[in-house]
Amino acid sequence: MTHTNRRRFIKASAAIGAAASAFAVPQVVLGQRGANDRIRIAMVGLGGRMRSHIGSLAAIAKQDNIEIVAICDCDQSRLDTAVESYPELAGFKFKKYNDQRQVFDDKDIDAVSFSTQDHWHALQTILACQAGKDVYVEKPPTYCIWEGRKMVEAARKYGRMVQIGTQNRSNPNVREGMQKLKEGVIGKLYMARGMTYKMRGNLGKHRAQPVPPGLNWDAWVGPAKMVEYSNFNHRRWYWNSNFASGDVANQTVHDIDKIRWGLGLDQHPITVMSMGDRFIPGEDDDADTPNTQSFMCKWADHKVLVTFEFRHWYTNSEANMRDKYPFVAENQCVGEIFFGSEGYMIFPDYSSYYTFLGPNNEPGPFKTEAKSKDAKAAGQLIDWTSESAPHFSNWVKAMRSRKHEELNADVEQGHLSTSICHLAKISCKLGRSVHFDPKTERFVNDPEADKHLKREYRAPYVIPEQV
């Protein structure tokens, strides 16, 4: 860190320290909303994934009484170019905020949709709940297991509708496939396997550089450890353990969530064993989360086996889920396989399922979805707006009914699924199996593993014990 940057950092830290108790919001719970009242939504975090949020809500607004009334980002350049980046905003009158606390304080805002970095999701959700806002938050909802329970507590305490961005839960074809599993289309289930084989390649070098004008780097870093700014952090934070869990909770949480759903697993696993590392990184690659990892899980009351694997380099396919049924783009093998006594079923993407029955793998029931013209033009196998729109519609419906049981991906479901990813992360880090108590959400006689249940938060961005 240069002397100039150090002085700026010390000055900023002193200001933040003096206002440490100020990073909070009034704990106000709004009254009941009428079935037809307008729902006013703010959008926080203007990155790539936000295109799906804004596109989906703009489409829903044509039929439902909802409105985008505010956008927020700590990077002023993103606020300035928001309409160009998200053309669907052109139909709305909205405020621009560069501090999310302004969103929480705004009494005209009923709900907040977050598309921010993983390390921010839990604190943002809790603060929004305390301010009386309903929440849609991207996956993975947590950085560590402890955060998930705090999110659930906040949602229940303040009566908020918190939907996690595992949008597979709302796709009609996926829901049909899950119902087929429940009905026994492939017989008695004994195992499920998930995989994420995507070419990530070399992820680049951390090179410290001046913070760009208009970016509040302290707010961006938030609860994480303060580090010097670099384009590697701001653009490729998924693979930086200070800000995220890497691929063990990035794409993986979608697959694990569907596996839990299909197998009817409504508790934490009791044993997880995982191995992985960063292979072929190269001297100019500073990513520090595994790019190849496998794990297995065991439950107490369900005689099923769950396995998962991800890798970032060239690989074979499984069950034709790359060669015949590719995910999003060519040469990507991502999905789940359910194994039963009468056959197997695959979910190769977010809107399809296929079954194969008997010793000759005869095709059974299936359902798929043709991609839209826009998706075809973009070379995508999934239209990201249309695949998320049903999930946002479900959130809006629950906001009107005030029944969290109607959410397809309620915060507690997100906590259960993401915790499996964190258990695999901890097992891999410790280099051994871990044994977990689902009731206490602590490890069994394992103080070393317990140290990883919660992260160390940077003041004033601290999640309190009592939310």
pLDDT tens digits along 347-383: 999 999 999 999 999 999 999 986 655 655 555 555 6
Taking alpha carbons only, the member of 127, 250, 161 closest to residue 200 is 250
Taking alpha carbons only, the member of 121, 413, 393, 70 closest to residue 260 is 413
Max mean pLDDT range (90-104, 195-209, 357-371): 90-104
Report DSSP state, residue 230.
B
Q: How confident is the model at residue 232 (pLDDT cuts 50, 70, 90)?
A: confident
Instruction: Look at the alpha carbons of 133, 59, 44, 67 in this order and tell me if their dihedral is positive or negative.
Output: negative
Q: How confident is the model at residue 26 (pLDDT cuts 50, 70, 90)?
A: low
Taking alpha carbons only, the member of 96, 290, 307 closest to residue 195 is 307
Taking each continuous run of H as one helix and of E as one strand, the counts in the chain are 15, 16
State both tokens at 197.
Answer: 């084989």
User: What is the phi/psi pair of residue 194, to 5°?
Assistant: -120, 155
Taking alpha carbons only, the member of 431, 336, 118, 346 closest to residue 247 is 118
pLDDT digits (tens, 9 = 90+) for 271-300: 999 999 999 866 778 899 999 999 999 999
9 to 5, 210, 241: CA distances (angstroms): 6, 11, 22
- Average pLDDT score, the chain: 91
**How many Cβ atoms sit within 10 Å of the Cβ of residue 171?**
25
C-alpha 58/C-alpha 48 separation (Å) is 16
- For 362, the enclosing helix (H) or strand (E) is strand 362-367
Whether 6 and 210 have beta carbons less than 8 Å apart is answered as no
pLDDT for 9: 39
Rg of the chain on CA atoms, in Å:
22
Question: pTM higher than 0.85, yes or no?
Answer: yes
**Cis preceding linkage at 464, omega within 30:** no
Domains detected in the chain: 26-169 (3.40.50.720), 172-379+412-450 (3.30.360.10)
270 to 34, 275, 302, 309, 423: CA distances (angstroms): 43, 17, 11, 19, 10
